Structure 1
Amino acid sequence: MPSASKLRGASRLAIDATTGITDLVEAMHAQIGRVPLSGLVYGSVRGVTRLVGGGLDLSLAALAPLLDRAESTRSDALVAALNGLLGDYLEASANPLATAMGLHPLVAGASGPPLVLLHGLCMNEAQWRRDGADFPGALAALGYRPLGLRYNSGRAIWRNGAELAALLEELPGPITLLGHSMGGLVARSAIAQAGRGRWPRRLARLVTLGTPHLGAPLERGGQQLQQLLAVSPYSRPLAALAARRSAGIRDLRHASLLEADADRASRIPLPAGVACYAVAATTAGKPTGSPARWLGDGLVPVASALGQHREAARRLAFTDTALFTGLGHLALQTDAAVLQRLQGWLRS
């Protein structure tokens, strides 16, 4: 995405945010003071904000030839984070910051069967290489062609799944999908929505790293916060701000994979005839007791990452699983022992 487009998108996002905060402050004044304030004051703030926004957009467009030379990995990471937090809004408002889905080669000159790497929330495909680790390079050495899926992680999971299902029709088989965190849910959603597509018959393996197959407790906490804020008339306006979490984040609450499953857990088994593997991590050094009670990786519980539900009908029958101790959620993309296990599963 050109830098000029990123900056124009950022300016529009800032304008929308300022206008939204104005609405928020006006609502809080009405609740706390119970004295109607002049609508002219708030209307003026909104009007000036939009006027300034229009000027920024025109100025940045004029600077486009210079700004287009200023691409950076850091700005791409920032855009990915914004998409995770507000991606559904960016898309709905046609903001240039909204990330378009696409497959990107991760290892120059690599050939062989495609290995699609799906990043997690607020991330992008470049972050499979960081902290000295190079998962794409190591997997390319096994004879794969690593392709990074770039997508707007703030969209509803089912929307990304549907678009990915259509995109994978263009790939020759056999296909391997490797998803970290939300990426594993997007992969499963794509499989469930493939319909009569040909690529699911060419799907050889599905591997997930720290994927919340049974939901993520932290998103449930966000829902509870929103409900608590709505109790008091003084904090009620803030509930709207808490509700601004993207559709993608809200889908993590129950691991909702289909449009019909909004705000509830999807009951979708793993694909038949496909080798499916799951990796979980726990920050604890030596977990004790049953897996259902183990601490997770800081974001995803062990039981959720391994699909171990107390109801037999909701358990996921993985071909093989692995649990790594003393690791956090993001370390699943950089840890040498995790990479070694992936190489063992994908070597054949």
Structure 2
Amino acid sequence: MSNNDELRGISRLIVEAIEGVTDIVETQHRTISAVAPPIGRGRGERTGGISGLVYRSIRGINRGVGVALDVALRRLPAVPALTRTSGKADSLIAILNGVLGDHLAAQANPLAINMQFRRDGKALPTDKTALRERLPDVGDRLLVLVHGLCMDDRGWTRDGHDHGQALARDRGHTPVYLRYNSGRHIADNGREFAEQLDRLVDAWPVPIREIVLLGHSMGGLVSRSACHWAEQHGQSWRSRLSALICLGTPHLGAPLERAGHWVSSVAALSPYATPFTRLAAIRSVGIRDLRDGSILPAAMTNDDAQPHRRAHRLEPLPEDVRCLLIAASRQKSSGSGARRPIGDGLVSVNSALGWHRDPSKRFDLVPEARQTCHATNHLGLLSSKDVYHRLRQWLATKR
């Protein structure tokens, strides 16, 4: 992505933000001036007379400036993106995609991330010869690392540690890192991941003996969705999948997204609060999928219209694949006296372990396939020595 593209993407977002704020102010103006009842529907979103003219003028000028900026930036000579050693700009773009990536993609905003496999912060080629040159350490044991919400491939390196590089050193895996727009539907990302992985396997320079998927947070859901898609469409890589590992993945949903869903649903009951529900609704469909850990297209939803919807069905883990689910807990130990295990700050222990009192709502796994790391938070799963020890030990264990 060139610097010009980034500037165009940012300018579009600024224009859209100004228009959004204008809409909120005008709707609130209309509601107050009409003296609407505290509960129920308001009197519409647009004002009339001089006030309406002012708001229309603001929108018109804003849109005109936006078009002019976009045209001007298109005509400027392309300026290549500066070499990024820290990855801070990429991290900001990843956060932006997590929050409103579906909107960026729908508007063809240059800031929208396109899915690709990467290594050392750079995209991998899809040609066999070019892949061999790019990956001098290429082997027959492929490890694919899938990041979580608002993150990207660089996020796997934390506090000087990278599970992928460590497993390459100790276990001989060849790591590649998926980068994707985490604001899109999980099922959409899962489908595209499956298709791209199929092409990568076909282009791999040596015959692949085994594939291991390692997903953090949302990345575990995207990986499960990809497995489901591959099974349904007979993709060849699925038969070579030997292991699926999920770190802090909200298989049963994320409580913070449920809270955000309820806030926006309740606030919509009052016309005075309705304009501000647009702010509460500024969370991508990817985030909304986390409400119930949805991985299939049938479970996807784009709105908050059904606050009591709890029809989510837990899809089983892929068959004939060794699965390891690791949860993090901020408790120092399992015997800390809490009535229920404390999660990692974002995902509960039970959700990460796919455990529910109702047998129909939990995964059928042997006890050793569910493990909890204590004194660790959600991001700490990426750098924890305890987590890495468990990964290495578990992968070394025969079926």
Category of TM-score, reference length = shorter chain: over 0.9
Distance 2:153 2:229 in 1: 23
| 2:179 aligned residue (140, 145, 150) | 150
| Pairing 1:101–2:106 present | no
1:133 maps to a residue whose letter is H
Aligned twin of 1:160: 189
* 1:74 Cα deviation from its structure 2 partner: 1.0
- Partner SS for 1:116: strand
Distance 1:79 1:64 in 2: 23
After TM superposition, list the pairs within 5 Å mapping 1:302-341 onto structure 2: 302-318=349-365, 320-341=369-390
* 1:321 Cα deviation from its structure 2 partner: 2.3
For structure 2, list consecutive stretches of 5 or more residues without a partner in the other structure.
36-46, 121-133, 202-207, 302-310
For residues 292 and 314 of structure 1, do their structure 2 counterparts lie closer, same or farther at Cα, with a shift above 3 Å needed?
A: farther
| 2:326 aligned residue (279, 283, 286) | 279
Aligned twin of 1:79: 93
Aligned twin of 1:129: 157
- Partner SS for 1:250: helix
2:159 maps to a residue whose letter is D
Distance 1:335 1:238 in 2: 40
| 1:55 aligned residue (56, 61, 68) | 68
* 1:71 Cα deviation from its structure 2 partner: 4.3
- Partner SS for 1:193: helix
- Partner SS for 1:253: coil
TM-score w.r.t. length of structure 2: 0.82
* 1:347 Cα deviation from its structure 2 partner: 3.3
Distance 2:292 2:378 in 1: 18
For residues 130 and 60 of structure 1, do their structure 2 counterparts lie closer, same or farther at Cα, with a shift above 3 Å needed?
A: farther
| Pairing 1:217–2:266 present | no
Post-superposition Cα deviations, 1:244-297, rounded to whole Å, max 9, x if no partner, equal 310000000001111111354232111111010011011112344999921100
TM-score w.r.t. length of structure 1: 0.94
Whether the aligned pair in 2 keeps the contact of 1:292 and 1:308 (CA below 8 Å) is: no
For residues 292 and 303 of structure 1, do their structure 2 counterparts lie closer, same or farther at Cα, with a shift above 3 Å needed?
A: farther
Post-superposition Cα deviations, 1:197-221, rounded to whole Å, max 9, x if no partner, equal 1211111100000000000000000
Post-superposition Cα deviations, 1:87-114, rounded to whole Å, max 9, x if no partner, equal 1111111111111011112495332221
For structure 1, list consecutive stretches of 5 or more residues without a partner in the other structure.
none
Whether the aligned pair in 2 keeps the contact of 1:277 and 1:321 (CA below 8 Å) is: yes
Alignment length (residue pairs): 348
| Pairing 1:182–2:181 present | no
* 1:136 Cα deviation from its structure 2 partner: 2.2
Whether the aligned pair in 2 keeps the contact of 1:282 and 1:323 (CA below 8 Å) is: yes
Whether the aligned pair in 2 keeps the contact of 1:118 and 1:150 (CA below 8 Å) is: yes
1:275 maps to a residue whose letter is R
Aligned twin of 2:238: 200
Larger CA deviation: 251-260 vs 104-113: 104-113
* 1:192 Cα deviation from its structure 2 partner: 1.0
Identity %: 46
Aligned twin of 1:19: 19
Whether the aligned pair in 1 keeps the contact of 2:3 and 2:79 (CA below 8 Å) is: no
For residues 208 and 147 of structure 1, do their structure 2 counterparts lie closer, same or farther at Cα, with a shift above 3 Å needed?
A: same
Larger radius of gyration: 2
* 1:343 Cα deviation from its structure 2 partner: 1.3
Whether the aligned pair in 2 keeps the contact of 1:176 and 1:206 (CA below 8 Å) is: yes
2:246 maps to a residue whose letter is T
| 2:344 aligned residue (297, 318, 331) | 297
Distance 2:181 2:313 in 1: 21
Distance 1:266 1:289 in 2: 32
Distance 1:14 1:187 in 2: 34
* 1:3 Cα deviation from its structure 2 partner: 2.5
Distance 1:316 1:292 in 2: 23
For residues 238 and 95 of structure 1, do their structure 2 counterparts lie closer, same or farther at Cα, with a shift above 3 Å needed?
A: same
* 1:62 Cα deviation from its structure 2 partner: 4.8
| Pairing 1:110–2:163 present | no
Distance 1:268 1:289 in 2: 32
Whether the aligned pair in 1 keeps the contact of 2:328 and 2:349 (CA below 8 Å) is: yes
For residues 274 and 24 of structure 1, do their structure 2 counterparts lie closer, same or farther at Cα, with a shift above 3 Å needed?
A: same
Aligned twin of 2:6: 6
Larger CA deviation: 191-200 vs 274-283: 191-200
CA RMSD after TM alignment: 2.1
Post-superposition Cα deviations, 1:51-71, rounded to whole Å, max 9, x if no partner, equal 222233234335554453364
For residues 232 and 114 of structure 1, do their structure 2 counterparts lie closer, same or farther at Cα, with a shift above 3 Å needed?
A: same
* 1:29 Cα deviation from its structure 2 partner: 0.7
Whether the aligned pair in 2 keeps the contact of 1:278 and 1:318 (CA below 8 Å) is: no
Aligned twin of 2:81: 68
Post-superposition Cα deviations, 1:25-50, rounded to whole Å, max 9, x if no partner, equal 11111112228452211111111111
